[in-house]
Amino acid sequence: MSVLTRDTAGRAGDRPAPGGAAPPGRRGWWTTRRRDQLAGLLFIAPQLVGSVLFVLIPLGLVVWYSLHEWNVLADTFEFVGADNYRAMAGDPNLPSVLWVTALFSVGLVAFNLSLALLLAVLLNQRLRGTVLFRTLFFSPVVVSLVAWTIVWGFLLQDNGGVNGLLGTLGLDGPNWLRGDTTALLSVIVVQVVKNVGLNMVLFLAALQGVPAELYEAARVEGANAWTRFRRITVPLISPTILLTSIITVVGSLQVFAQIAVLTQGGPGTSTTVLVYYLYQRAFQFHQFGYGATLSVLLFLIVLALTVVQWRMRRRWVFHEQ
Amino acid sequence: MNSRLSARAKVGLYGVLCLLAVPFVFPTWWMVTSSVKPVRDIFAFPPSLIPTEASLSAYRRVFELQPFAQQYVNSAYIAAVVTVGTLAVSALAGYAFARIRFRGQQVLFVVVLVGLLIPSEVTIVPLFRMFHSWGMVDTHWPLILVPILGAPSVLATFIMRQFFIALPGELEEAARVDGLGRFATFWRIALPLARPALGAVAIFTFLHSWNLYLEPIVFLSSPEKFTLPQALTQFVDAYGGPMWDVQLSAASMTAIPVLVIFVIAQRQFIEGLAHTGLKG
């Protein structure tokens, strides 16, 4: 690698290594192509080393650990073959955990995407003050996640703000976080209100790219608002729908802090989703081997869902970029 | 859809928007007003939207019960370091993947992109063991190194790549003909043009680090090393019940500064996120 030190003309703001001051197109061994090869590798080196060290190796290790029993307290680490996978197949909690995870994800994605689209369409009207409303709808995105969750935990107490507001309207609200269904519903709503602003902004940008002539033409043909929305808006923004749904589906499987703070997985196991169960097993019960096995399961689910959505794009995404 | 609306439609639309805004605005309002209410009024019925008497005693107790100032500094400096580090790593890598032709580029890009697919919860167990063996548990290193170099920065790299791909190449060609090397071209020509993308990456990187919860509670155990999200959950009484007034004061202090910055710079925030990277 002695060539590295050859071209070190110390220009201000120039890094020595990728051949800063070499005249362009110089002949000989140190060609532009070789310099680009080195520069490219050096530029991506931090990201590449980081990906290998903190993504790929841990991913391999997770599979490796899932074949072991690791006891932190006794400091033992022994190979147990497929025992953890057998334990997973026979885990009496797992069917409920997967069912709750599915309900949670489906509810969250459906609610998030439809609300985001609704807000975007409303804000895309010719109306004064839409910037103010856009700011309001987006603001929870920048509020610290745990702070947001704590406030909602406070609001959803039996005698808290939500039931207080309902009470002034003469309604009797339930004890939200103590009932199986209402607890799951609460976590979904808290999460959607927190993050729907992001998808709303992406939809809004997409809607502004839909040419107005199309709507005019449809109106002349006598298409009503709903038909125009279904036949023009949805197909034209379908690439954004695909992008946001992939982001939201993967994100829905990663919801942890909200559940840890609001319900700790309860009441019972009615809000114990897979990531929370994984955390409990690994870091509260110190079953790291089994925790790793659940991590493998989580990864396979994320991978499968992403592949399915990506393949579905051919079926319903109107045009590719 | 962009046709002029009748007056009645406008009134209706404003009504719907105001109603929809309630769950977005009310929690923040309720957090701040409840934090200054006397404890006995916190669960009063009917709820008072504007507190009749205000006191900052709960704010004082936040600092008595936890090393909150230290925790605030921890969160702020970690988020700052992670943001600057991520910008450096992702701008360099994004530029190279977009602009420099080198062998192995495609394969290495796919290798890096794997990070987009992996929820941080999947790798938390091995990462814990790695940092444990390096003696870095209960330090801030995992909260700094993993976001800058690992999966969270991959999205940043992807966004920077998308931005640099869309940038017209003529300026750089001219610079190269003038004899500028790759790094100088990147630093003096491409990077200044990438300001909108860098802004968007900085915003979401900062928020991601500021919000991090699983990693701190897994890696940190001493209160003076805690970050804010973790500290917020520590204000509980002897029976494990939350001390609402203190929690809400701490939550307000965590949320309000970022919220104020957002309101001042909301256009850059929202349009930056909408128009760079994620769209392409």
Chain segment A36-59, per-residue pLDDT in tens? 899 999 999 999 999 999 999 999
Q: Which of B28, B111, B181 sits opposite A143 (nearest CB)?
A: B28
Q: A50 and A181: one domain?
A: no
- Judge whether A99 is closer than 8 Å to chain B, CB to CB: no
| CA torsion, ordered A273, A72, B82, B234, to nearest 10 deg | 70
Q: A126 and A216: one domain?
A: yes
A129 — pLDDT class (breaks 50, 70, 90): confident
| Residues belonging to chain A | 321
Is the full-model pTM beyond 0.80? yes
| Assembly ipTM | 0.88
What's the whole-number average pLDDT of chain A?
A: 85
CA distance B248 to A67: 44
Q: Does residue A77 lie in a domain region?
A: no
C-alpha B189 chain-centroid distance = 28
CA distance A130 to B73: 36
Question: Which residue of chain A is at minimal alpha-carbon distance from B253?
Answer: A147
Q: Does residue B23 lie in a domain region?
A: no
Domain that holds residue A60: 2-65
Phi, psi for B186 (deg, rounded to 5) = -60, -50
Distance from CA of A86 to the nearest CA of B (A): 20
Q: A278 and A129: one domain?
A: yes
Question: Which residue of chain B is at minimal alpha-carbon distance from A261?
Answer: B233
Q: Which of A136, A146, A282 sits opposite B125 (nearest CB)?
A: A282
Q: A176 and A116: one domain?
A: yes
Domain that holds residue B129: 60-275
User: What is the Cβ-side half-sphere exposure of residue A316, based on CA atoms within 13 angstroms?
Assistant: 13
Q: Are A186 and A175 in contact (CB under 8 A)?
A: no
Coil vs helix vs strand at A244: helix
Q: Does residue A258 lie in a domain region?
A: yes
Mark yes or no for CB contact B127/A58 under 8 Å. Answer: yes
Q: Which of A36, A53, A153 sits opposite B100 (nearest CB)?
A: A36
Q: A268 and A171: one domain?
A: yes
Q: Does residue A305 lie in a domain region?
A: yes
Q: pLDDT at position A283, please?
A: 87
CA distance A106 to A56: 29
Which pair of tokens denotes residue B33? Answer: 């007003």
Question: What residues contact A264, with CB distance under 8 A and at least 6 apart?
Answer: none
Coil vs helix vs strand at B212: coil
Q: Which of B6, B40, B50, B118 is the best substitution to test chain A (most A C-beta atoms within 10 A)?
A: B118
Task: List pLDDT tens digits, range A146-163.
Answer: 999 999 999 999 888 888
Question: Which residue of chain B is at minimal alpha-carbon distance from A240?
Answer: B279
Which CATH number belongs to the domain containing residue A187 in this structure? 1.10.3720.10
Q: Are A253 and B122 in contact (CB under 8 A)?
A: no
CA distance A151 to A234: 35
Q: Does residue B182 lie in a domain region?
A: yes
What's the whole-number average pLDDT of chain B?
A: 88
Mark yes or no for CB contact A24/B31 under 8 Å. Answer: no
B39 — pLDDT class (breaks 50, 70, 90): confident
Q: A49 and A106: one domain?
A: no
Q: A225 and A301: one domain?
A: yes
The strand pairing partners of A287, in sequence order, are none
CA distance A214 to B126: 53
Distance from CA of A47 to the nearest CA of B (A): 6
Q: Which of A147, A219, A260 sits opposite B254 (nearest CB)?
A: A147
Q: Residue A30 carries which DSSP code?
A: S
Report the number of distinct structural domains present in chain A.
2
The 10 Å CB-count burial string (b at 16+, else e) for B145-182 is bbbbbbbbbbbbbbbbbbbbeebeeeebeebbeeebbb
Report the number of distinct structural domains present in chain B.
1
- Chain A residues whose CB is inside 8 A of the B95 CB are 43
Which CATH number belongs to the domain containing residue B261 in this structure? 1.10.3720.10
Interface of A with B in 245-274 (CB under 8 A): 250, 253-254, 256-257, 260-261
Mark yes or no for CB contact B125/A129 under 8 Å. Answer: no
What type of residue is A296? V
Mark yes or no for CB contact B255/A189 under 8 Å. Answer: no
- Map tokens 């155990």 to a residue: B221
